[in-house]
Amino acid sequence: MKTKLPALLTLAVVLLTGCVRSISDSGYAQDRGWNRGYNPGYKGELSEFDVLGLQRGTNVTDAQIASALDGAQRVHLRKGATVMLIQSGAYLPDEPMRTEFGKYFNVIPFGGQPAESSGGSYAGSLRLAAARAGCETLVCYWGTLESAHEAYGTKMVSWVPVVGGVVPDEKQHMRIRLKVALVDVRSGSWTIFSPEPRSDASASGRYYREESDQRQVEKLKQLAYNGAAEDVVKIYAN
């Protein structure tokens, strides 16, 4: 009996489970993120409360809300101004993001790993640190990488030596989403926006899955960071 290899190679694709990971913990994991293991360099994410000076559980009056609304100011950046750049969850912002923002601003990188204490006091400390560095604006960003996987028919014939790890047997669809907060250091006024998500699809074989995954991560980060910097300039610096 002859095996019809071409027919097997063209079998319908099956969608597999996906995973979500932080851009600050974006290394490859064989188990697709459900139990990615301990990463000593990653200590979790900052919350919006940490960065914006919002405190949970406090009593807020209508008068305070009205006063805040009356005093609200639009966040505006000057091209060439000094900004403090923070990547949530990272010891330092990714180099491509520093490069992209550096095209328009003087960038002071700052750590984004969560502190033991949080709330308004931490946000105030961030603004004070930024002020002492001469920064007019604090920029903090969060990001996630979402991925889903398709198995090709080649996985069903992996007993063929050449197919075992060389021939692509899976396609990974990946999308990156960013959220960017801009805080005026002097007043504390802030705004948040989300750039357009970026997507990519890449085929890989078993023996080079990790390499393919990390190339895809870096490609999407570059695209997203470029878009984020351009959006900041277009919306808030013109």
Domain that holds residue 94: 21-30+42-147+175-199+209-236
Range with lowest mean pLDDT among 25-39, 76-90, 111-125, 132-146: 25-39
- d(C-alpha 101, C-alpha 138), whole Å: 12
The pLDDT assigned to 56 comes to 73
Look at residue 164 and tell me if it is in a domain: no
* Between 214 and 15, the higher pLDDT residue: 214
Q: Examine residue 48 and state whether it is found in any structural domain, yes or no.
A: yes
Cβ atoms of residues 101 and 230 within 8 Å: no
Predicted structure pTM score: 0.82
What are 21-65's pLDDT values in tens digits? 999 999 987 654 444 556 888 999 999 988 998 777 678 889 988
What is the tally of structural domains in the chain?
Answer: 1
CB 54 within 8 A of CB 48: yes
Q: Does residue 223 sit within a domain?
A: yes
CB 151 within 8 A of CB 10: no
pLDDT at 28: 85
Q: What's at 59, amino acid-wise?
A: N
If one counts every other C-beta atom within 10 angstroms of the C-beta of residue 63, the result is 8
Q: Is residue 155 part of a domain?
A: no
**Residue 15 pLDDT > 70:** no
Position 153 pLDDT exceeds 90: no
Cα 189 to Cα 138: distance, rounded to the nearest angstrom: 11
Helix (H, G, I), strand (E, B) or coil at 142: strand
In a domain, 61, yes or no: yes
Is residue 9 situated within a structural domain? Answer: no
Q: What is the residue whose two structure tokens read 């002859």? A: 2
> Do residues 193 and 58 make contact, with C-beta atoms less than 8 angstroms apart?
no
Residues 6+ apart with CB under 8 A from 195: 178, 180, 224, 227, 228, 231
Number of residues in the chain: 238
- Say which residue, 157 or 153, is predicted with more confidence: 153
pLDDT at 37: 59
Where does the pLDDT of residue 162 fall: very low under 50, low under 70, confident under 90, or very high at 90 and above? very low
Q: For the chain, give the percent of residues with pLDDT over 90.
A: 56
Q: What is the dihedral of CA 218, 223, 229, 232, to 10 degrees?
A: -130
The tokens 């099956």 sit on which residue?
14
The pLDDT value given to residue 117:
60
Residue 192 has pLDDT above 80, yes or no: yes
